[in-house]
Structure 1
């Protein structure tokens, strides 16, 4: 799949390559063989799980960390910092 994505990038059909749910270890393994590094890694990240190690690794490699969170999780909505649920 990596080679196919790099071919799409080379042809101009893709402007960037991204991954999702890659740990620091998986990203490190990918960076060892990839000719074109991923521009973004989309992972679950929120007040209860901020993943600072992964964020630091991505930053050091020039990879944008894009956060998503399933807001339907009760522990997230009840977080006092969000103040969404009385």
Structure 2
């Protein structure tokens, strides 16, 4: 059941990101959903397909602290820009 819920949430997220990309009217936007520890996953994804900017969104102040802490190691060791946006 949790696998079905995760698949449904991922599908809805992909559709939402596709809509955002269309509205941005910017060429060559690639999106990706990654599961796991933030810093490790971003480093792995960047090795597979290098990128210039990571945008992380969150819904609450307490989550912002968690995102910032999770990304700190990645931010400190990477040359990739990271933008954390409160939603």
Q: TM-score, normalised by structure 1?
A: 0.40
Q: TM-score, normalised by structure 2?
A: 0.40
- The one of the two structures with greater contact order (alpha-carbon pairs below 8 A, sep at least 6) is 2
Q: Which structure features the higher share of helix residues?
A: 2
